[in-house]
Amino acid sequence: MELPFAESYKIKMVEPIRKSTREEREEWIKTAKYNLFNLRSDQVFIDLLTDSGTGAMSDRQWAAMMLGDESYAGASSYYNLKSAIKNILGFDYFLPTHQGRAAENVLFSALVKEGDVVPGNSHFDTTKGHIEFRKAKAIDCTIDEAFNTTIQHPFKGNIDLTKLETVLSQHPKEQIPMIIVTVTCNSSGGQPVSMQNLKDVYALAKQYGIRVIFDSARFAENAYFIKLREEGYQDKSIKEIVKEMYQYADGMTMSSKKDAIVNMGGFIGFKEEELFKKACQFNIIYEGYITYGGMSGRDMNALAQGLDEGTEFEYLETRIRQVAYLGERLKKLGVPVQEPFGGHAIFIDAKRFLPHLPKEEFVAQTLAIELYKEAGIRGVEIGTLLADRDPETRENRYPALELVRLAIPRRVYTNNHMDVIAVACKNVYDRREQITRGYQITNESAIMRHFTVELTSAEEKAHVMI
């Protein structure tokens, strides 16, 4: 008999979590104005809000923290991180930042101006936020296959070269500060970009004299998918694949809270010395001196160790197989999920789950709320709330996909938790026809509204109006 698969680690420290009753949850979510971000974590049983900063650090990372050097300038921890970034990613210059969006803020301060366009593959929300905040435009050039959750395509994060070339040829070079390639592509479902596509995008960019920046939060998961799915990479190590990927980038922004398995941190990697120097000024203003940039020495040490562990095949295999385990369970139970499964999360297709619900009542948010009420599971809406309003017309933007993301924290939950999640989804699915009304906004902010939006049940609102 073939031995079954098992995790490549054992557990040394545990944190209790608590179940609640349906009545408690209904009360809590109402008080939270039907925004899952407003819940207290102890009101949640299984927290799949994000895989960002929620991972479990290893014994080696904790050990590295004890050796943190808290000197203001030139700390040994800075040099540890510098050499990890050079060895694993290949960048000569880097700036630490407190997280990924801070890296975007610093880099875009140096690069993006009003009227610019920034093509890419489904820009992440903070990335798009930082572009639009500077009155520039993010242009989505993802391949069309990404927007159909039933199509099997190994690299749904890929950039459509024709779409990209249209943007590059229709704007003067001075108006395109960079192309952003997100690996894996978060907004389209944690879908990977192929090495071939990275290579082709880079070649096209160079033809037009434009720089390529990788938004790198899940670069290691991207490398894992290249190893499994792309011809010619089966026998290469993750570290070799990662090295090759970054040959096709001029720079990178990183949220270390994902694939580097730390709770806080980020950085920018540069190949161009001149751009690095320009960005240094902004790092000092916004983040901190260039050798710590918003991170403590111990955190830089843990990050250096995390970059190494996060690019090991055994770790990635454990991680991505757990995500796929949940995906398979849901699929078997008939719940409509995006395929192929992404690296860090399973995405439920809310439009296929609740086809009768009007899009004006926030289909994916409605489903996320139902799942919380069912079992205390906190997922997140990737739909109309997240897509926000058009900055010019202020109309709601209705995205092609309404998804509920179930993001799996790294090294945190067991497959028993995955089983609970799967059955909870199935229970909601079985009573989907009884879910006839969604929600309406009562309060929202001008930018990135999903974090703070307040909602009310569309049904209750209708009663009030009568």
Ligand X SMILES: *Cc1c(COP(=O)(O)O)cnc(C)c1O
Segment contacting ligand X (CB under 6 A): 97-105, 135-143, 335-343, 384-392? Answer: 97-105
Distance in angstroms (rounded) separating the CA atoms of residues 98 and 296: 9
Which residue is closest to ligand X by CB?
A: 100
Segment contacting ligand X (CB under 6 A): 134-142, 146-154, 255-263, 286-294? Answer: 255-263
Which whole-number Å values give the CA distances from 202 to 87, 190, 197, 231, 241, in the listed order? 22, 21, 8, 20, 16
Of 397, 389, 384, nearest to 350 (Cα)? 384
Bond from prior residue into 162 cis (ω within 30 degrees of 0):
no
Q: Looking at this protein, which amino acid is placed at residue 30?
A: K
Angle 126-105-279 from CA coordinates, rounded to 5°: 150
Q: Which of residues 359-378 bind ligand X (CB under 6 A)?
A: none
Residue 97 makes contact with ligand X by CB under 6 A: no
Q: Min. distance of Cβ 341 from ligand X in angstroms?
A: 17
Which whole-number Å values give the CA distances from 95 to 38, 281, 297, in the listed order? 32, 11, 14
Assess whether 450 carries a catalytic annotation.
Answer: yes
Assess whether 208 carries a catalytic annotation.
Answer: no
Q: Which is nearer to ligand X, 222 or 366 (CB)?
A: 222
Distance in angstroms (rounded) separating the CA atoms of residues 384 and 453: 12
Q: Which is nearer to ligand X, 258 or 417 (CB)?
A: 258
Q: Is 138 helix (H, G, I), strand (E, B) or coil?
A: strand
Distance in angstroms (rounded) separating the CA atoms of residues 155 and 416: 29
Q: Which is nearer to ligand X, 80 or 127 (CB)?
A: 127
Q: What is the sign, positive or negative, of the torsion defined by CA atoms of 391, 394, 400, 405?
A: positive
96: β partners: 267
Q: Min. distance of Cβ 128 from ligand X in angstroms?
A: 10
Q: Min. distance of Cβ 183 from ligand X in angstroms?
A: 8
Q: Which is nearer to ligand X, 143 or 424 (CB)?
A: 143
Among 105, 109, 121, 126, binds ligand X (CB under 6 A): 126
Residue 182 makes contact with ligand X by CB under 6 A: yes
Assess whether 144 carries a catalytic annotation.
Answer: no
Which whole-number Å values give the CA distances from 93 to 31, 96, 252, 275, 401, in the listed order? 47, 10, 11, 10, 38
Active-site option among 128, 171, 257, 450:
450
Assess whether 217 carries a catalytic annotation.
Answer: yes
Instruction: Taking each helix axis as running N to C, give the angle between helix 297-310 and helix 313-332, from 0 to 180 degrees, rounded to the nearest 10.
Output: 70
Q: Min. distance of Cβ 395 from ligand X in angstroms?
A: 25
Assess whether 349 carries a catalytic annotation.
Answer: no
Among 39, 213, 217, 448, binds ligand X (CB under 6 A): 217
Among 171, 257, 378, 405, binds ligand X (CB under 6 A): 257
φ/ψ of residue 224, rounded to 5? -60, -45
φ/ψ of residue 456, rounded to 5? -135, 155
Residue 186 makes contact with ligand X by CB under 6 A: yes
Q: Min. distance of Cβ 157 from ligand X in angstroms?
A: 10
Q: Min. distance of Cβ 433 from ligand X in angstroms?
A: 35
Residue 266 makes contact with ligand X by CB under 6 A: yes
Among 54, 61, 99, 338, binds ligand X (CB under 6 A): 99
Distance in angstroms (rounded) separating the CA atoms of residues 248 and 253: 14
403: β partners: 349, 382
| Tokens coding 398 | 């209705």
Distance of CA 332 to the CA centre of its chain: 26
Active-site option among 64, 75, 102, 217:
217
Active-site option among 47, 51, 125, 299:
125
Q: Which of residues 28-67 bind ligand X (CB under 6 A)?
A: 52
Among 121, 127, 188, 311, binds ligand X (CB under 6 A): 127
Q: Min. distance of Cβ 10 from ligand X in angstroms?
A: 28
Please list the active-site residues.
72, 124-125, 215, 217, 258, 450
Contact residues: ligand X, CB under 6 A: 52, 99-101, 124, 126-127, 182, 186, 215, 217, 255, 257-258, 266
